[in-house]
């Protein structure tokens, strides 16, 4: 039986996940100017598809049901052709960013870059209209209201009722506030933490910080003490922020957090954005990571984390890791 959509943590056993296998839409990336499509380099479509197959095999081996965006979109749009449903969306393989789940609801945010403008609308239609998801989920943002400028790579759900949001290159302060208002007023969260990601550290929070367990986190060493934090709560006068000194204790539910520091030394794969923190949990202390993040993976394993290594040299050309490539739809409660 398929699990109902609900995500109350980053690390509960993954039961359902949304992905998109890269395909013909990669032809819209100019190999001479990949940066125009937000890519770091041209992507080898055949190799990327093979690597994506290895990723989805790891997800299924971990017990997850894997849903394919293109197939769901084709059902909703009635095209009968999954690839036509995707169109010119080469970045859609990074399904985490345009939409994400909090509790039993979802948010389709406004993307910071025009190149990805159409992705949230496509996923919103899938979540609203596809029978696999529509009857057991809801949107946290009102229909017809402006979408908050928030990308899923900046959103972390440490536990039920608590959400952390990175503010930086892709998610604006106004977007984080709008998300806080939507979740706190709507009942999707009781507290929301904002973390300001230092300029140049990473364009998403999950490039410098991800969860390994309810009280354990991978953090890129250069930003460990530089993530300015505020907790947002609902008050009679509206949503109000308060600065806090120890963001990691908040993330760990008021307990001391285990921090696995990923050193600043490059891993030799030539991806300056990829610090080795962008991993996705299959279960507590079991994560999927790119195999060529050798040093980072060794640090995780030394800390007692099981690393399921998958190839990613081609997939990473679009500047995204295993967490970027996966949009959890349901996780087991902890």
For residue 237, the SS3 value is coil
327 an active-site residue? no
Q: Which two tokens stand for residue 250?
A: 């908040």
Helix axes 119-129, 69-77, angle to 10 degrees: 70
Strand partners, 235: 238
Q: Name the burial class of residue 191, with classes exposed (0-12), middle (13-18) and buried (19+) by CB atoms within 10 angstroms of its CB.
A: middle
Q: Which two tokens stand for residue 188?
A: 């999707």
Q: Which two tokens stand for residue 183?
A: 């979740």
Give the separation between CA 227 and CA 157, rounded to whole angstroms.
17
Of residues 139, 127, 114, 52, the one with CA closest to residue 324: 52
* Pairing mode of beta strands 65-68, 138-139: unpaired
Give the separation between CA 290 and CA 309, rounded to whole angstroms.
6
- Out of 324, 325, 327, 329, the active site residue is 324
User: Residues 251-286, buried b or exposed e (16+ Cβ, 10 A)?
Assistant: bbeeeebebbebeeeebebebeebbbbbbbbbbbbb
Residue 230 · residue 246 · CB < 8 Å:
no
Give the separation between CA 266 and CA 274, rounded to whole angstroms.
9
Of residues 189, 215, 205, 208, the one with CA closest to residue 284: 215
**Given the structure tokens 């299924």, which residue do they identify?**
60
Residue 212 · residue 218 · CB < 8 Å:
yes
Q: Catalytic positions, please? A: 324
């Amino acid at each position: 039986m398929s699990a109902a959509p609900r995500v109350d943590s980053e690390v509960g056993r993954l039961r359902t996940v949304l992905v998109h296998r890269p395909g013909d839409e990669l032809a819209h990336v100019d190999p001479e100017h990949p940066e125009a499509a937000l890519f770091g380099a041209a992507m080898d479509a055949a190799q990327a598809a093979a690597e994506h197959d290895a990723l989805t095999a790891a997800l299924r081996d971990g017990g997850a049901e894997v849903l394919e965006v293109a197939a769901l979109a084709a059902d909703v749009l009635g095209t009968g052709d999954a690839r036509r449903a995707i169109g010119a969306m080469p970045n859609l393989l990074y399904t985490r960013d345009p939409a994400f789940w909090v509790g039993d609801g979802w948010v389709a945010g406004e993307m910071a870059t025009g190149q990805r403008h159409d992705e949230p609308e496509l996923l919103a239609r899938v979540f609203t209209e596809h029978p696999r998801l529509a009857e057991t989920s809801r949107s946290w943002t009102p229909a017809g209201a402006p979408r908050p400028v928030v990308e899923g790579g900046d959103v972390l759900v440490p536990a039920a009722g608590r959400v952390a949001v990175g503010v930086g290159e892709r998610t604006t302060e106004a977007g984080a506030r709008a998300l806080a208002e939507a979740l706190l007023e709507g009942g999707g969260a009781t507290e929301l933490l904002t973390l300001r990601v230092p300029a140049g550290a990473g364009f998403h929070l999950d490039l410098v910080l991800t969860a390994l367990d309810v009280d354990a986190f991978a953090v890129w060493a250069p930003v460990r003490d530089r993530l300015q934090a505020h907790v947002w709560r609902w008050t009679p006068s509206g949503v109000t922020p308060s600065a806090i000194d120890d963001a990691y204790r908040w993330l760990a539910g008021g307990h001391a957090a285990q921090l696995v520091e990923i050193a600043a030394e490059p891993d030799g794969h030539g991806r300056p954005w990829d610090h080795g923190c962008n991993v996705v949990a299959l279960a507590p202390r079991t994560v999927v990571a790119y195999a060529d993040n050798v040093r980072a993976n060794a640090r995780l394993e030394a800390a007692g984390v099981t690393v399921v290594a998958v190839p990613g040299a081609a997939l990473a050309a679009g500047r995204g890791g295993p967490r970027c490539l996966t949009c959890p739809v349901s996780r087991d409660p902890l």
